[in-house]
């Protein structure tokens, strides 16, 4: 699938950067003329992916989070969130609703939420090497555009 436009952002795994990532993704997606609902879905999915990287990838240290945003042919937005943190030993288990390694304050719904707001969700991870989350969402073309 051909890339029509892209941007890569890298930032420290500080919780303050979650809001930045949400806003950056929304601004980048704006070129596809999404509806407010589509923008909110994208922001929610990005928030979950970035928060997972901040909370779970680097539980006791500061690390780096990379977010790649791409517009692909056919009006498809692709978002890749990557960390080089602790990784996930069992991705299938981690994608199970309510499963969390983040303690009582975490719901364990991050992957489920990402999956519900995006068309596709892929998670690749290796213990000690980090995690890559790839999400895609086709943005509907509006009449007259």
Give me the active site residues, please: 48, 52, 106
Q: Mention every residue, 6+ apart, whose C-beta is less than 8 A from residue 124.
A: 91, 131, 132, 134
Between CA 86 and CA 98, with CA 92 as vertex, the angle to 5 degrees is 85
Best CA proximity match to 133, nearest among 116, 109, 114: 114
- Taking phi over 0 as left and psi of -120 to 50 as alpha, with beta for the rest, 86 belongs to alpha
CA distance 122 to 17: 23
């Amino acid at each position: 699938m051909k890339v029509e436009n892209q941007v890569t952002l890298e930032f420290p795994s500080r919780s303050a950067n979650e809001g930045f990532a949400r806003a950056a993704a929304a601004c980048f997606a704006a070129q596809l003329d999404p509806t407010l609902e589509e923008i909110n879905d994208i922001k929610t999915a990005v928030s979950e992916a970035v928060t997972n990287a901040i909370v779970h990838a680097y539980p006791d240290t500061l690390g780096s989070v990379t977010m790649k945003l791409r517009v692909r042919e056919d009006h498809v937005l692709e978002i890749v969130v990557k960390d080089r943190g602790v990784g996930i030993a069992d991705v299938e288990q981690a994608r199970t609703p309510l499963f969390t390694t983040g303690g009582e304050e975490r719901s364990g719904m991050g992957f489920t939420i990402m999956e519900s707001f995006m068309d596709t969700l892929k998670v690749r991870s290796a213990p000690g090497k980090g995690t890559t989350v790839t999400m895609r969402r086709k943005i509907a073309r509006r009449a007259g555009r």
